Amino acid sequence: MPIEKYHQQVAECTAILRGRLSLTPSWGIILGTGLGRLVEHLQGGDSLGYEQFPHFPPPTSPSHVGRFVWGHLAGVPVILCQGRFHLYEGYTPRQVALPVRVMAAVGVRNLVVTNAAGGLNPLFQAGDLMLITDHINLQGDNPLVGRNVEGWGPRFPDMSRVYDLELRKLAEEVARERRLRLRQGVYVAVKGPCLETPAETRMLRLLGADAVGMSTVPEVIAGVHAGLKVLGCSVISNVNLPDAMAPIELSEIIATVRQAEPQVVELLLGILERQAQAG
Ligand code: HPA
């Protein structure tokens, strides 16, 4: 698709969302697999299903509702993506990044990405939270491929500091205060939908990754391109050890994430509370 057409699509989706928004969200939060309950803490606001947006593809992933929800969290105006798009669904990186483009266009300056991920670091346990310190893009694709839209961001975005250091420090402080165990590490994104073989798992660990998943990186790249501050948090839903691989069931992944979800909610609410205090 020519970039002009995509640009037009973003503009149309932005107009639809803007027409419904009752606030200007400064934070955008993408909720990954099994993570939806943050919406229960929203005050005021409303929601709009992705089906109301002509260029949003239908979400096909289990446990991804597919809607924007907005309101105040700890006094901060936020917009949440309940459900996201993935490359393994057959969507293009630009389609996957569409919600981020739209959120940036309505005023979001801080982007929080969450996901369920497989642990590669043998010290991790299922149910752990991992603050993403950096990523490796092994998806073989990128939402910025094609002509650059100069109004959105630079042709060659700097990726030396993708995950904002101040936001990471804030997350660490909140975790310490609230006694949440917060691991840290590198997220590697693969295309999926297959889970990894033992040989692939060994390779990903050797490459320097602590967790593997099938999402997040396209949205983060679009976010960096748009100049957003990015914070990423994975829930380690399973731990993959190449010499002792166990079959992974989606239902187990979702069950583990749901168990860890209150901690994710507490971490994010804590971060937003501190943000509200800082004014
Ligand atoms: N691999 C890839 N993606 C995942 C995994 C995994 O083990 N667990 C949750 N998402």
The rounded Å distance from CA 253 to ligand 1 centre is 8
The model carries a pTM of: 0.97
**Mutational pocket test of ligand 1: of 237, 241, 257, the residue with most ligand atoms within 8 Å of the beta carbon:** 237
Residue 73 structure tokens:
């969290």
The answer to whether residue 184 scores a pLDDT higher than 90 is yes
Write down the mean pLDDT value for the chain. Answer: 96
- Strand-pairing partners, residue 232, are 113
| 138, 187 contact by CB (below 8 A) | no
- For 227: left if phi > 0, alpha if psi spans -120 to 50, otherwise beta; the answer is left
Q: Say which residues have a Cβ less than 8 Å from residue 75's Cβ, sequence separation at least 6.
A: 272, 273, 276
The rounded Å distance from CA 64 to ligand 1 centre is 16
| 115, 36 contact by CB (below 8 A) | no
The rounded Å distance from CA 270 to ligand 1 centre is 27
Residue closest via CA to ligand 1's atom 9 equals 117
The rounded Å distance from CA 172 to ligand 1 centre is 24
Q: Could you give the 3-state DSSP secondary structure of residue 84?
A: coil
Residue closest via CA to ligand 1's atom 2 equals 213
Residue closest via CA to ligand 1's atom 8 equals 118
The answer to whether residue 64 scores a pLDDT higher than 80 is no
Taking the C-alpha atoms of residue 14 and residue 268, their distance in angstroms, rounded to an integer, is: 25
Q: What is the pLDDT of residue 185?
A: 98
The answer to whether residue 62 scores a pLDDT higher than 70 is no
| % pLDDT > 90, the chain | 92
Residue closest via CA to ligand 1's atom 10 equals 117
Pick from 50-59, 74-83, 248-257 the range whose average pLDDT is largest: 74-83
Taking the C-alpha atoms of residue 183 and residue 185, their distance in angstroms, rounded to an integer, is: 7
Question: 245-258: per-residue pLDDT in tens?
Answer: 989 888 999 999 99
